[in-house]
């Protein structure tokens, strides 16, 4: 592979790292830290950070840069807003212009958001080697925009950094040769383990008089759960009426908030709060009795924190969180929550274990692989 390409012909190597949305910021932070560490050890590796602007407000973007000490992006493409197609198109147009003026040896995309796919397409069309971090995961649910993003990105990548053996199997089925796949572990868990000693108690903790292991955290933002307002209300009513007196803290995603704005509804046990910074949110999760969610990344974090996780989805692209971790797929039918909550309250939830290589050293392994390319 190296012999066929021109890259790394300069004396140092330059990587362009892409981030656009909340889960991306958590994934790039340890990679950037590791690159800086290598720089301080005298390794010739440089990077630029491109923020596509997919998430742009303080609570979904700015806070993460501050809390995770992510350096200011080299550029913000300000390509947020609009439909899936509009956003994809805006990111592609802006990133193509940027790349034309800022040559690089490798584009690195993370996760499965619109920015991941849009920048992958641009990089590949400009014949720049492409690395995908968190490659190969599949929900096999084509109604998820993220599944389309994963399939497109993985069909274009040159280097696949994966979190589990499942991902390797998925890539093999797509014809990706083993030598392009690197089982390195999970960068989300690098961030989690690094930041555990830095967690902040959110203001809401005392305001709501929360007590350790006596409240539930709720997050919902996937189109299947929130786009139909009636479904969303039924789900919230079911949660509200089956938790006894346990408080449910719901840091509400802007997409979900938009659906509920202006609707006259009351849920005595549910406390709606703003999306939180990472250090506050992980504090909240770590001390909770359980999490109810439709997020992917949160199922990984609850696995490591040994917090029971009830996932309101019919499938998952992270099966190891169920097979090994504390996660259980409850489905999107609100009725399924009733027996699951009974099981939780009876104290019978599994405690789970740790998936292989989710050990806090994933970014180190990724950057080592890249540095080895250079020196080969």
Residues of the shown chain interacting with ligand UDP in the complex, contacts defined by CB under 6 A? 22-23, 26, 219, 221, 251, 275-276, 278, 281-282, 295-298, 301
* Euclidean distance between CA atoms 149 and 142, whole angstroms: 10
Of 278 and 349, which CB lies nearer to ligand UDP in the complex structure?
278
SS3 call for 21: coil
* Euclidean distance between CA atoms 376 and 374, whole angstroms: 6
As beta bridge partners, residue 277 has none
Active-site position among 51, 55, 132, 221: 221
In whole angstroms, how close is the CB of 72 to ligand UDP at the nearest point? 20
In whole angstroms, how close is the CB of 36 to ligand UDP at the nearest point? 21
Side-chain-side CA neighbours of 299 within 13 Å: the count stands at: 25
* Euclidean distance between CA atoms 49 and 69, whole angstroms: 13
Of 307 and 370, which CB lies nearer to ligand UDP in the complex structure?
307
Active site residue 221: yes
As beta bridge partners, residue 162 has 183
In whole angstroms, how close is the CB of 19 to ligand UDP at the nearest point? 13
SS3 call for 140: coil
In whole angstroms, how close is the CB of 323 to ligand UDP at the nearest point? 19
Q: Report the Cα 366 to chain-centroid distance in Å.
A: 17
* Euclidean distance between CA atoms 291 and 311, whole angstroms: 8
Q: Pick from 191, 213, 236: which is nearest to 284 by CA?
A: 213
In whole angstroms, how close is the CB of 361 to ligand UDP at the nearest point? 18
Element (H, E) at 225: helix 223-226
Phi-psi region of 85 (alpha: psi -120 to 50; beta: other; left: phi over 0): alpha
Of 53 and 129, which CB lies nearer to ligand UDP in the complex structure?
53
In whole angstroms, how close is the CB of 109 to ligand UDP at the nearest point? 14
* Euclidean distance between CA atoms 69 and 65, whole angstroms: 6
Element (H, E) at 343: helix 337-345
Q: Pick from 43, 48, 39: which is nearest to 15 by CA?
A: 48
In whole angstroms, how close is the CB of 47 to ligand UDP at the nearest point? 22
DSSP letter assigned to residue 188: H
Of 201 and 342, which CB lies nearer to ligand UDP in the complex structure?
201
Of 272 and 373, which CB lies nearer to ligand UDP in the complex structure?
272
Of 158 and 280, which CB lies nearer to ligand UDP in the complex structure?
280
Of 251 and 355, which CB lies nearer to ligand UDP in the complex structure?
251
* Euclidean distance between CA atoms 28 and 109, whole angstroms: 9
> Please, what is the Cα angle at 366 between 294 and 162, to 5 degrees?
40
Active site residues: 221
């Amino acid at each position: 592979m190296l012999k066929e390409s021109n890259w790394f012909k300069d004396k140092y190597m330059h990587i362009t790292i892409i981030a656009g949305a909340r889960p991306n910021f958590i994934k790039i932070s340890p990679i950037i830290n590791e690159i800086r560490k290598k720089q301080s050890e005298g390794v010739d590796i440089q990077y630029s950070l491109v923020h596509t602007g997919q998430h742009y407000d303080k609570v979904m973007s700015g806070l993460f840069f501050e809390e995770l000490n992510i350096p200011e992006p080299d550029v913000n493409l300000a390509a947020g807003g609009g439909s899936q197609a509009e956003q994809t198109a805006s990111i592609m147009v802006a990133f193509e212009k940027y790349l034309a003026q800022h040559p690089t040896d490798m584009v690195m995309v993370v996760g499965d958001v619109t920015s991941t796919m849009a920048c992958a397409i641009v990089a590949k069309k400009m014949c720049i080697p492409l690395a995908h971090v968190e490659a190969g995961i599949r929900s096999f649910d084509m109604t998820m925009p993220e599944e389309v993003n994963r399939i497109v990105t993985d069909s274009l990548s040159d280097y696949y950094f994966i979190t589990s053996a499942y991902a390797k199997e998925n890539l093999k089925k797509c014809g990706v040769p083993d030598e392009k796949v690197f089982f390195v572990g999970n960068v989300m868990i690098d961030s989690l383990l690094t930041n555990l000693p830095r967690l902040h108690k959110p203001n809401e903790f005392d305001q709501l008089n929360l007590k350790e292991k006596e409240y539930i955290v709720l997050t919902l933002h996937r189109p299947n759960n929130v786009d139909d307002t009636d479904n969303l209300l039924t789900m919230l009513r079911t949660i509200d009426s089956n938790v006894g007196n346990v408080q449910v803290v719901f840091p509400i995603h802007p997409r979900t908030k938009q659906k509920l704005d202006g609707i006259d509804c009351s849920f005595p046990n549910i406390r709606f709060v703003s999306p939180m910074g990472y250090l506050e949110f992980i504090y909240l999760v770590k001390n909770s009795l359980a999490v109810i969610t439709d997020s992917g990344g949160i199922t990984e974090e609850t696995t490591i924190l040994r917090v029971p996780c009830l996932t309101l989805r019919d499938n998952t692209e992270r099966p190891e969180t169920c097979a090994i971790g504390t996660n259980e797929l409850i489905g999107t039918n609100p009725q399924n929550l009733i027996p699951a909550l009974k099981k939780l309250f009876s104290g019978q939830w599994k405690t789970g274990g740790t998936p292989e290589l989710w050990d806090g050293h994933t970014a180190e392994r990724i950057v080592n692989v890249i540095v080895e390319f250079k020196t080969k």
